[in-house]
């Protein structure tokens, strides 16, 4: 499991909060039956109403790569909305 923690702050306020994103390890998903196995990583965003986002890939590396692209896009949207992201720290559990 990979956990990314960062401070998220709206630029027009003085309040900041600690957010975190967690990526689960890739697992074989047997529920999707479309021509073989798919691997799934679950992405947990603490700031989102929908807490878990399943990210599917053809192999474990592909699912991790797609999960990291999902997180990159999420952070770009937050920055576009006027948030600043600071003190990023990666942890493996």
Q: What is the pLDDT of residues 73-89, one digit of tens each?
A: 988 888 888 888 776 55
d(CA 43, CA 2): 10
pLDDT band at 62 (very low <50, low <70, confident <90, very high): very high
Q: Say what the pTM is.
A: 0.76
β-bridge partners, 56: 40
Please give the pLDDT value at position 91.
55
3-state secondary structure 23-89: ECCCEEECCCCCCCCEEEEEEEECCCCCCEEEEEECCHHHHHHHHHHHHHHHHHHHHHCCEEEEEEE
More confidently predicted of 45 and 69: 69
Q: What is the largest CA-CA distance in the chain?
A: 51
pLDDT tens-digit map of 3-53: 777 777 776 666 667 778 888 888 888 766 666 678 999 999 887 777 789
Please give the pLDDT value at position 76.
87
């Amino acid at each position: 499991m990979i956990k990314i923690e960062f401070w998220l702050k709206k630029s027009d306020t003085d309040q900041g909060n600690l957010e975190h994103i967690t990526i689960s390890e890739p697992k074989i998903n047997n529920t999707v039956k479309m021509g073989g196995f798919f691997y799934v990583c679950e992405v947990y965003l603490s700031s989102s109403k929908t807490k878990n986002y399943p990210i599917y890939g053809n192999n474990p590396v592909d699912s991790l790569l797609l999960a990291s692209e999902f997180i990159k896009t999420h952070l770009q949207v937050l920055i576009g909305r006027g948030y600043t992201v600071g003190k990023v720290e990666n942890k493996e559990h």
